[in-house]
Chain A
Amino acid sequence: MALENVKIDAANGTVDYLNSKYIYVSQSRDLKIDRSLSYVGIIIDGKNADFTRMVVKRIRGNQNSEIYLKPIIILNGNAHRDVFIKTLIDGVIFSFDQIPLIHEHVSTINNLTKELTVINSISFEAMVVSKLLYFMFTRELKILEPVPYALSNTNYSFPFLACNFNEFEEYQVLEILEVAIQEGLFKHKFLDRIYLCSNCKSSHLSFREACPKCGSSHTDTFDIVHHFPCAYVGPITDFTNDIDDQLNCPKCSKKLKHIGVDYDKPSVLHKCKNCDNRFQDFHVKAKCMSCTFDNPVESLVDKEINEFTLTKKGESYALQGYVSTPKDIEDIIGTVKFDTFKTVTKYEVERLRQTEGSSNIIAINIENAGQFYAKVGSNAQQLLLKDLVGEIRSSIRSSDMITFYSSSVILVTMFEIPTKISQRIIDDILKLLEKLIKNNFKDLVIEIKANVHQLNYNLSSELQINQLITM
């Protein structure tokens, strides 16, 4: 690790170390993101945190995996102290001499990146989840933690995810993470709760007590005094005078002597200096500092802030990619939700217990879905799934159901039918599907396999579905 191995090309803004080239980005150089493709890593001048944040966001927010997974090193400065930047970078050096210190780490990241099967997801949401899974895989991260960040519109930021959104859309990060939890990609642990503006979903709110009539917080507060002997009730100012500090009842002119004995203060009164409204209870309002909308607190949107831990399922998706969210495939006509499929199968098992008939469930697997999805775009993926469902639907009875377990596994019910006939139907379906794929995607080889499982009323439906999926 000698200094002589580090060669700086000031003219091109590159640094060479053992034939591995790093690109150097500073404020004085115009960054063309695409240029970074041919380098092992990006070194950013960290003197100016704003500049560094902007560059890091552009890199991590890119949709090309070769760019957003590229190792980023900060040189000099204090930029890495910014928690947002710190979460997104892979190392800090204080001079080019220190490149040998981080080079191995950079190489590891690049090697892990090469292991990935990068696919194109159907939707933006699925793509963001895929990006996150890839990033965590290449950085060998198991836990995704939010960082309290004043510059974030949600106050807590998940920096890698936030890079995919502009500041006004950052709340969508939380929605995407909810999808990931529902899909079982992450386990979550509650950390905190935030409240978002009902208008723009910003968490930059100013809470204050306001007049219920005009919303102004410019108010005065008085004690209400009740004079027992004459039942006079009024603000304490009614009882005071300019001459001495005695309290005299304006109704019966008697001197108030002793609180709790001849008078008490049963409540308070607030007076709005803006509209003269008199009231007892303030409305608590939350003024949004982003869009200026004055929210009644009841209308604020509350969101949980969690810490996320990658599950085994999440880890496997990190390698093969996450094609679609449940919502993406639920939209395909002719299918039912996976939960509905499970419920119907459960009832069928119960029914079989009484009738001892023959019912089957079938799993159709697209074996090399990852490769396929990596090669074709989102529209083509959706088209394929629609065509597959259409073809299956035309070959089965209208009472049978189709659902997506994932973008590569389709489940079908075939109740009240002998297993042999089910097998025959499914063989015919597979032939039709192969033909369909051949006609539509000529250059691609897609392997589709199917397993037929006869439902056993002695076993739970859940178990049998799981067995079928993992067959």
Chain B
Amino acid sequence: MNSLDDFFDYVASMGFERFIRIFWFFVFFELFRYMIIDLIVLTIAKILKVLNRKKTKEALYRLNLEQPLVSIIIPGKNEGKHIFKLVKSLREQTYKNVEIIVVDDGSDDDTPTIGRDMERNGFVDKFIRNEFRGGKASAANLALRFTNGKFIVHLDADCSYNYDAIIQIILPFYMDSKIAGVGGNVMVRNYKTSVATTLQAIEYYDTISIGRVVASQLGIYRIISGAFGAFRADAMTQIQGWDIGPGLDGDISVKIRKMGYKVKFASDAVCLTSAPDNFKKLAKQRLRWDKSLIRFRVRKHRDVFYPSQHFNFSSFFSFLENITYNIVLNVKWYIYFIDMVFNFPHELTFILTMNFFLYTCTNYFKFLVFSLYRTEKNTSISYFLLYMPLMVIYFGYYLRFVRSIAYIQEFFFKKSYDDPWNPPKTSKYAKELGL
């Protein structure tokens, strides 16, 4: 009881200047960038959406009139068990003019039998098999060769899609002719499986989904999710498909930007995915994702910062924001922590408690207020309220720690090239060529 009284006394006696001095990290980065700016941009986006209703309606009319062929490609290894369910959900789509192409990247289970059977029975238009695994990029590129559509939609086999997901992801192409890539809104299907999946579901709702709406509105949206992304076929021909991963979804978004096209986020195009159900698996996934930030943003596409033929400000700011708020901020947090340990060693418990309190309040506020801007959700948000305090540990400590390891591994040891997600035969060359 004494401690609690001490804590309140400490907060009450702090004063504004001292508050800023101690909680500068929260105020300048978290509050300013991830709440205030997000709220402003979300409000602008909402207003623009209302103002653009007529434009959207016209675009939808043009789309329905043209009924372009959409090629849905599903590359993967050992995904046979998911394909039937996925294809069934695709057949339920409101948009019917689609061709479904499944590429089996050297599966060693029943996938070839299942795929051939589905092709024979007309569930998929083409089933293509690579006898030897070449990696996701090569499988997607092989699928690309067989497509006939005006638009290419790339899907993951273990995901499922809202009945109007295809039309919603194609619609932005009819709103702006410069758009060549559109990312879908990925949500967590198995949010009730474990604490890990529940926390990821909250993260997907707020940080990922809302973050992408904001980024898209600011013109700095940078990752078209591999689980659900749509591309203009002519742009794909220009950029000659995917390059070696991991992180090929972020890479292709940059390649499209560099060609002078825009990439957009379609929050109404909903895809449900199965998130890793424990923290160990999640750490592996995030290490892969975070390493690709260094590999692609800092290394492969660093020319975005240089004046060149393909220079454009949106790509420049997209990269700058990405690097600042991920890499720099991550380092700054450690600086903040050291600052606190050395300069306020006796107040550390209060500071940590206050930080926890501030972040939790902000998280609740964001979660509830952002709900006003969320057009799609796959369950009642009340389910998540109980878990919100855990988000501070999850996001502030767990993910930050994983991210830090990933940056160190990639920056100093180029570990992404050793990731088994990609076959070593291809990673070896990508490493040599700095791809």
B68 interface residue per 8 A CB criterion: no
B138 in contact with A226 (CB, 8 Å): yes
A229 in contact with B435 (CB, 8 Å): yes
In the bound assembly, the distance between CA atoms of A232 and B243 in angstroms comes to 8
B240 in contact with A229 (CB, 8 Å): no
B131 in contact with A267 (CB, 8 Å): yes
A233 in contact with B134 (CB, 8 Å): yes
In the bound assembly, the distance between CA atoms of A267 and B107 in angstroms comes to 13
B106 interface residue per 8 A CB criterion: yes
Of chain B, the residue at the smallest CB distance from A250 is B240
B243 in contact with A264 (CB, 8 Å): no
Pick from B116, B126, B142, B426: contact of A229, CB under 8 Å? B426
A231 in contact with B141 (CB, 8 Å): yes
In the bound assembly, the distance between CA atoms of A228 and B244 in angstroms comes to 8
Pick from A226, A251, A281: contact of B240, CB under 8 Å? A251
A280 in contact with B242 (CB, 8 Å): no
Chain A residues with CB under 8 Å of B244's CB are: 229-231
Chain B residues with CB under 8 Å of A251's CB are: 240-241
How far, in Å, is A115 (CB) from chain B's closest CB?
58
A267 in contact with B129 (CB, 8 Å): yes
Pick from A233, A278, A281: contact of B138, CB under 8 Å? A233
Interface string of B140-157 (1 = CB under 8 A from A): 011001100000000000
Of chain B, the residue at the smallest CB distance from A260 is B425
B16 interface residue per 8 A CB criterion: no
B141 in contact with A233 (CB, 8 Å): yes
B128 in contact with A267 (CB, 8 Å): yes
B134 in contact with A226 (CB, 8 Å): yes
How far, in Å, is B236 (CB) from chain A's closest CB?
12
Q: Assess A231 versus B145: contact at CB under 8 Å? Given A267-B129, A280-B128, A281-B116.
A: no
In the bound assembly, the distance between CA atoms of A224 and B106 in angstroms comes to 14
Of chain B, the residue at the smallest CB distance from A251 is B240
B72 interface residue per 8 A CB criterion: no
Of chain A, the residue at the smallest CB distance from B427 is A228
B430 interface residue per 8 A CB criterion: yes
Interface string of A269-284 (1 = CB under 8 A from B): 1000000001111000
A264 in contact with B241 (CB, 8 Å): no
Chain A residues with CB under 8 Å of B135's CB are: 231
- Chain B residues 120-134 with CB under 8 Å of chain A are 126-132, 134
In the bound assembly, the distance between CA atoms of A262 and B427 in angstroms comes to 11
A231 in contact with B425 (CB, 8 Å): no
B337 interface residue per 8 A CB criterion: no
Pick from B127, B241, B432: contact of A232, CB under 8 Å? B241
How far, in Å, is A239 (CB) from chain B's closest CB?
13
A262 in contact with B132 (CB, 8 Å): no
Chain A residues with CB under 8 Å of B429's CB are: 228-229, 262
In the bound assembly, the distance between CA atoms of A331 and B119 in angstroms comes to 44
Chain A residues with CB under 8 Å of B266's CB are: none
A233 in contact with B142 (CB, 8 Å): yes
Pick from A224, A228, A281: contact of B426, CB under 8 Å? A228
Interface string of A344-380 (1 = CB under 8 A from B): 0000000000000000000000000000000000000
- Chain A residues 212-231 with CB under 8 Å of chain B are 224, 226, 228-231
In the bound assembly, the distance between CA atoms of A361 and B145 in angstroms comes to 75
B433 interface residue per 8 A CB criterion: yes
Most buried by B among A226, A250, A278, A280: A226
B130 in contact with A226 (CB, 8 Å): yes
B137 interface residue per 8 A CB criterion: yes
B134 in contact with A231 (CB, 8 Å): yes
B433 in contact with A229 (CB, 8 Å): yes
How far, in Å, is B156 (CB) from chain A's closest CB?
18
A267 in contact with B130 (CB, 8 Å): yes
How far, in Å, is A99 (CB) from chain B's closest CB?
64
A234 interface residue per 8 A CB criterion: yes
A228 in contact with B433 (CB, 8 Å): no
- Chain B residues 82-140 with CB under 8 Å of chain A are 106, 116, 119, 126-132, 134-135, 137-138
In the bound assembly, the distance between CA atoms of A278 and B143 in angstroms comes to 11
How far, in Å, is A73 (CB) from chain B's closest CB?
56
Chain A residues with CB under 8 Å of B138's CB are: 226, 231-233, 266
In the bound assembly, the distance between CA atoms of A269 and B127 in angstroms comes to 12
How far, in Å, is B10 (CB) from chain A's closest CB?
57
B134 in contact with A264 (CB, 8 Å): yes
Chain A residues with CB under 8 Å of B126's CB are: 279-280
In the bound assembly, the distance between CA atoms of A251 and B429 in angstroms comes to 15
In the bound assembly, the distance between CA atoms of A231 and B129 in angstroms comes to 16
In the bound assembly, the distance between CA atoms of A267 and B132 in angstroms comes to 8
Of chain B, the residue at the smallest CB distance from A234 is B145
In the bound assembly, the distance between CA atoms of A224 and B116 in angstroms comes to 19
Chain B residues with CB under 8 Å of A224's CB are: 130, 142
In the bound assembly, the distance between CA atoms of A267 and B106 in angstroms comes to 10
In the bound assembly, the distance between CA atoms of A24 and B433 in angstroms comes to 93
B141 in contact with A228 (CB, 8 Å): no
Interface string of B177-201 (1 = CB under 8 A from A): 0000000000000000000000000
A232 in contact with B128 (CB, 8 Å): no
How far, in Å, is B428 (CB) from chain A's closest CB?
8
- Chain A residues 230-244 with CB under 8 Å of chain B are 230-234
How far, in Å, is A222 (CB) from chain B's closest CB?
11
How far, in Å, is A276 (CB) from chain B's closest CB?
10
Of chain A, the residue at the smallest CB distance from B126 is A279
A278 in contact with B130 (CB, 8 Å): no
Chain A residues with CB under 8 Å of B146's CB are: 278
In the bound assembly, the distance between CA atoms of A224 and B132 in angstroms comes to 11
A232 in contact with B240 (CB, 8 Å): yes
A266 in contact with B134 (CB, 8 Å): yes
How far, in Å, is B121 (CB) from chain A's closest CB?
11
A266 in contact with B145 (CB, 8 Å): no
Pick from B106, B129, B134, B433: contact of A280, CB under 8 Å? B129
In the bound assembly, the distance between CA atoms of A230 and B128 in angstroms comes to 20
Q: Assess A278 versus B134: contact at CB under 8 Å? Given A228-B426, A230-B243, A267-B128.
A: no
A229 in contact with B128 (CB, 8 Å): no
Interface string of A247-270 (1 = CB under 8 A from B): 000110000000001101011010
Chain B residues with CB under 8 Å of A262's CB are: 429
Most buried by A among B138, B243, B430: B138
Chain B residues with CB under 8 Å of A226's CB are: 130, 132, 134, 138, 142
In the bound assembly, the distance between CA atoms of A220 and B180 in angstroms comes to 34
In the bound assembly, the distance between CA atoms of A266 and B429 in angstroms comes to 18
In the bound assembly, the distance between CA atoms of A261 and B425 in angstroms comes to 7
In the bound assembly, the distance between CA atoms of A455 and B137 in angstroms comes to 77
Interface string of B267-296 (1 = CB under 8 A from A): 000000000000000000000000000000
Q: Assess A231 versus B242: contact at CB under 8 Å? Given A280-B129, A281-B116.
A: yes
| 30 residue pairs from A and B, CB less than 8 Å apart | A226-B130, A226-B134, A228-B425, A229-B244, A229-B426, A229-B430, A229-B433, A230-B244, A231-B134, A231-B141, A231-B243, A232-B141, A232-B241, A233-B145, A251-B240, A261-B425, A262-B429, A264-B134, A266-B131, A266-B132, A266-B134, A266-B138, A267-B128, A267-B142, A269-B145, A278-B145, A280-B126, A280-B129, A281-B116, A281-B119
Top 6 A-B pairs, shortest CB-CB distance: A231-B137, A229-B429, A266-B130, A233-B141, A233-B142, A228-B426
* Apart from the given pairs A226-B142, A279-B126, A280-B127, 18 other A-B contacts in the complex at a CB distance below 8 Å: A226-B132, A228-B134, A229-B435, A230-B244, A230-B435, A231-B241, A232-B240, A233-B138, A233-B145, A234-B145, A264-B425, A266-B138, A267-B129, A267-B130, A267-B131, A280-B126, A280-B129, A281-B119
Query: B residues bordering A, Cβ < 8 Å?
Result: 106, 116, 119, 126-132, 134-135, 137-138, 141-142, 145-146, 240-244, 425-426, 428-430, 432-433, 435
